[in-house]
Structure 1
Amino acid sequence: MTAAVKICGLSRAEDVAAAAEAGARYGGFVFFPRSPRHVTIEQAAALALAVPDGMARVGLFVDPDDETLDRVLQTVPLDILQLHGKETPERVAEIRARIGLPVMKAVGIAEPADLPALLDYGLVADLLLVDAKPPKGAALPGGNGLAFDWRLLAGRRMLKPWMLAGGLTAANVAEAIRLTGAQAVDVSSGVETAPGVKDAGLIRDFVAAATGAQAARTA
């Protein structure tokens, strides 16, 4: 078994192609105007249609209202909704029931006191994204290129399947997998040459490092 990789913040057709060619299992599209990786509904629709079979299309939203979700889903064929804001467990459950798609909830971690939220959201979400908690005053809830102490997750059992995110690169993803036992990882800024600009070589190197690390753990 190899680690599943999600390349988030895809905004160009060539980036979708690079992610697919490298073997990524998930492609993420950001519907958050303040992000340098933001795509319009029209852009996302075209990109989503270019995603090949076997690669799930993930829409990232930050505290979305029902109207926003409806507007996107009327046009963009998404497979998973990623909630990356301050959505409560109740709101996560509400969105999941209303939309009828699997929901992934991002949970920011910086210290042991943040860990109980993994249980709270694990009760209502289909998947968890364990990310580095953004620093106070940060403009973005994710994609900041920050890591957290991965040892906080060592030996921890999750209620639902989960992905590790936060400051991952081809150089450190093997160590992150070793310390946390993650079977899926998410990367955005770690495969970019500038905010929002993915690099095919970095994507290829990251996927190779992640899948190689998981294969070594399970050999």
Structure 2
Amino acid sequence: MPVQSKICGLSTAATVDAAVAGGAAWLGFVFFPKSPRDLAPDEAASLIARAPAGVGKAAVLVDPDDDLIGRVIAAGVTALQLHGDESPERLSALKRHGLELWKAVPVRTRTDLDLARAYRGVADRILYDAKTPKGTLPGGMGLRFDWKLLDGFVHPLPWALSGGLDPTNVAEAAGTTRAPLVDVSSGVESAPGVKDVDKIAAFLQAAARL
């Protein structure tokens, strides 16, 4: 089974086009004011409209309220990717929207993986990401965790790998973890929040060889 790729934190037409042209299975759009990749839902709508129907469009959110959820759904996303302290009950309530629900699980130690089990039956996918220092952004900082922590772990749900991936290490990451989906953000940037079309192409080419 080929490894799928997600390019996250997209904010321009050129980078959306590069991700689609390179074969990304998923595009990610961030709706979080503290992030350098933050977009307004109406800005995202025009970018989402550029991508074909077969490409997934994920809204990256941190403890969003119902108003924001409604606005990003109106923008055309097909998945809600939740990076805050959202409980299984919150995800259960969000199922009414009929979109895919992804829950990020921040990882530093093996025991951190156990949180994934709490979302069985409510999330559609778990995203294992590096745990960031307290008081910083919950993701998109180029940090990685020890991929060997996933050795022998019985995944309760479909899953994806994130955190510190880039064109030079994605092959090692996928080989070590057997990740079915790899998710990159800062690893294809020239500066925080500034995606680089050449790095996007290089990442997708590296992933396509897996």
Find the aligned partners of 1:193 and 1:52 in 2 and give their Cα distance. Answer: 26
Find the aligned partners of 2:180 and 2:194 in 1 and give their Cα distance. Answer: 26
2:94 is aligned with what amino acid? I
Find the aligned partners of 1:122 and 1:110 in 2 and give their Cα distance. Answer: 21
Aligned position for 2:81: 82
Q: Report the CA distance between 1:91 and its aligned residue.
A: 1.1
Q: Report the CA distance between 1:123 and its aligned residue.
A: 3.4
Find the aligned partners of 1:65 and 1:200 in 2 and give their Cα distance. Answer: 33
The percent of aligned pairs where both chains have the same amino acid is 50
Deviations 1:92-112 (A, max 9, x none): 11112x322110111100002
1:82 is aligned with what amino acid? Q
Tell me, what secondary structure is at the counterpart of 2:6? Answer: strand
Find the aligned partners of 1:41 and 1:164 in 2 and give their Cα distance. Answer: 26
1:112 is aligned with what amino acid? R
Aligned position for 1:179: 176
Q: Report the CA distance between 1:71 and its aligned residue.
A: 2.5
Find the aligned partners of 1:43 and 1:115 in 2 and give their Cα distance. Answer: 35
Q: 1:160-199 maps to which residues of 2 (within 5 A)? A: 160-199=157-196
1:147 is aligned with what amino acid? R
Find the aligned partners of 2:113 and 2:59 in 1 and give their Cα distance. Answer: 25
Q: 1:65-214 maps to which residues of 2 (within 5 A)? A: 65-74=65-74, 76-96=75-95, 98-138=96-136, 140-213=137-210
CA contact (8 A) 1:62 1:84 kept: yes
Aligned position for 1:5: 5
Q: Report the CA distance between 1:183 and its aligned residue.
A: 1.1
Is 1:37 matched up with 2:37?
yes
1:210 is aligned with what amino acid? A
Aligned residues, how many? 210
Aligned position for 1:26: 26
Q: 1:48-63 maps to which residues of 2 (within 5 A)? A: 48-63=48-63
CA contact (8 A) 1:122 1:128 kept: no
For structure 1, the 5+ residue unaligned runs are: 214-219
Aligned position for 1:216: none
TM-align CA RMSD: 1.1
User: 4+ residue stretches of structure 1 with deviation over 6 A?
Assistant: none
CA contact (8 A) 1:27 1:57 kept: yes
Find the aligned partners of 1:21 and 1:72 in 2 and give their Cα distance. Answer: 24
TM-score, L = length of structure 2: 0.96
CA contact (8 A) 1:145 1:189 kept: yes
Find the aligned partners of 1:51 and 1:206 in 2 and give their Cα distance. Answer: 19
Find the aligned partners of 2:154 and 2:50 in 1 and give their Cα distance. Answer: 36
CA contact (8 A) 1:154 1:181 kept: no
Find the aligned partners of 2:109 and 2:7 in 1 and give their Cα distance. Answer: 26
CA contact (8 A) 1:155 1:180 kept: no
TM-score, L = length of structure 1: 0.92
